[in-house]
């Protein structure tokens, strides 16, 4: 199963991806997590990405495309993967298509978590508070000022992917404002139809 989770920052992509990992036994490929790990490790990529991420802007397509292309060739991705926070631009979407085609595999579906922007800042603030309470590091970009920029980036560069995947017949919208369990149920319902259809079509 190859799935893309689409939606603005704070929509719940990471939370739902983790549930999908547990249920389907395929990895979550979060470019945000991979970039944060690179920053933490002080790699060349991490050094180049840090300031951009702290400002809430997008890291270059070339960097993230290279990271994902390398990651999907790992053995744990053989049965499929969940792309979380990638692709985020039309250039990245074209890159995904090329990567999959090169490897003779297909994308099953793109799930868009549809949310109300006004609720998102509250979710981000809560995520930062929860991380702090749990003694975990708080993401530098999880604050209202940077969040505004991340949301602007989303509308400018990522939202066009909704039309891109709709035109390809791949897009399925899910109500991201419902409870976490209800969103999971709705995503599973989408997968039950789209993934089966893709499997029969092969
Ligand atoms: P996320 O954890 O998905 O919210 O990503 C955190 C930050 O990492 C974003 O605000 C970007 O700076 C960077 N980032 C993550 N994924 C991508 C991507 N696909 N393209 C460009 N930048 C990304």
Q: Is the CB of 35 under 6 A from ligand 1?
A: yes
Mean pLDDT, residues 124-140: 89
pLDDT per residue over 4-28, tens digit each?
A: 999 999 999 999 999 999 999 999 9
pTM: 0.92
pLDDT of residue 202: 41
- Ligand 1: nearest atom to the Cα of 49: 12
Catalytically annotated residue among 19, 36, 50, 88: 88
Q: What is the mean pLDDT of the chain?
A: 93
- Expressed in angstroms and rounded, the spacing between residue 95 Cα and the centre of ligand 1 is 16
- Expressed in angstroms and rounded, the spacing between residue 35 Cα and the centre of ligand 1 is 7
- Rounded Cα distance between 88 and 101, Å, is 19
State how far the alpha carbon of 165 is from the alpha carbons of 97, 132, 149, 155, 169, in Å. 11, 37, 24, 15, 6
Q: Residue written as tokens 């989303």?
A: 154
Read off the pLDDT band of 117 (50, 70, 90): confident
pLDDT of residue 200: 45
pLDDT of residue 55: 95
Which of 13, 10, 19, 34 shows the shortest CA–CA distance to 127? 10
Which one has a higher pLDDT value, 40 or 127?
Answer: 40
pLDDT of residue 127: 87
What is the C-alpha radius of gyration for the chain, rounded to an integer number of angstroms?
A: 16
pLDDT per residue over 155-199, tens digit each?
A: 999 999 999 999 999 999 999 999 999 999 999 999 999 985 544
pLDDT per residue over 170-181, tens digit each?
A: 999 999 999 999
pLDDT of residue 168: 96
Q: Is the CB of 10 under 6 A from ligand 1?
A: no
Identify whether the C-beta of residue 8 lies closer than 8 Å to the C-beta of residue 84: no
- Expressed in angstroms and rounded, the spacing between residue 93 Cα and the centre of ligand 1 is 14
150 is catalytic: yes
Identify whether the C-beta of residue 112 lies closer than 8 Å to the C-beta of residue 162: yes
Residue nearest to atom 6 of ligand 1 (CA): 32
Identify whether the C-beta of residue 82 lies closer than 8 Å to the C-beta of residue 26: yes
Supply the angle between the helices 61-71 and 31-41 in degrees, to the nearest 10. 100
Mean pLDDT, residues 108-122: 93
Taking 80 as the threshold, does the pLDDT of residue 122 lie above it? yes
Number of Cβ within 10 Å of residue 22's Cβ equals 7
Q: Is the CB of 191 under 6 A from ligand 1?
A: no
State how far the alpha carbon of 67 is from the alpha carbons of 30, 33, 52, 72, 189, in Å. 10, 11, 16, 9, 31
pLDDT of residue 125: 87
Asked whether the bond before 87 is cis by omega within 30 degrees of 0, the reply is yes
- Rounded Cα distance between 100 and 29, Å, is 15
- Rounded Cα distance between 63 and 49, Å, is 9
């Amino acid at each position: 199963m190859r799935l893309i989770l689409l939606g603005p920052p704070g929509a719940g992509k990471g939370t739902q991806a983790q549930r999908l990992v547990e249920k389907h036994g395929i990895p979550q490929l979060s470019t945000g997590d991979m970039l944060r790990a690179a920053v933490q490790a002080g790699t060349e990529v991490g050094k180049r990405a840090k300031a951009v991420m702290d400002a809430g802007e997008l890291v270059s397509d070339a960097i993230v495309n290279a990271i994902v292309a390398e990651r999907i060739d790992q053995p744990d991705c053989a049965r499929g993967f969940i792309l979380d926070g990638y692709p985020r631009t039309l250039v990245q979407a074209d890159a995904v298509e090329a990567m999959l085609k090169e490897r003779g595999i297909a994308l099953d579906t793109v799930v868009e978590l549809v949310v109300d922007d006004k609720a998102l800042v509250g979710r981000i603030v809560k995520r930062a508070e929860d991380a702090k309470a749990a003694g975990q590091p708080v993401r530098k970009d999880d604050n209202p000022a940077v969040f505004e920029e991340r949301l602007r980036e989303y509308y400018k560069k990522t939202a066009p992917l909704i039309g891109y995947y709709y035109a390809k017949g791949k897009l399925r919208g899910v109500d991201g404002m419902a409870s976490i369990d209800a969103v999971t149920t709705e995503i599973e319902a989408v997968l039950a139809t789209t993934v089966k259809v893709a499997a029969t079509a092969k």
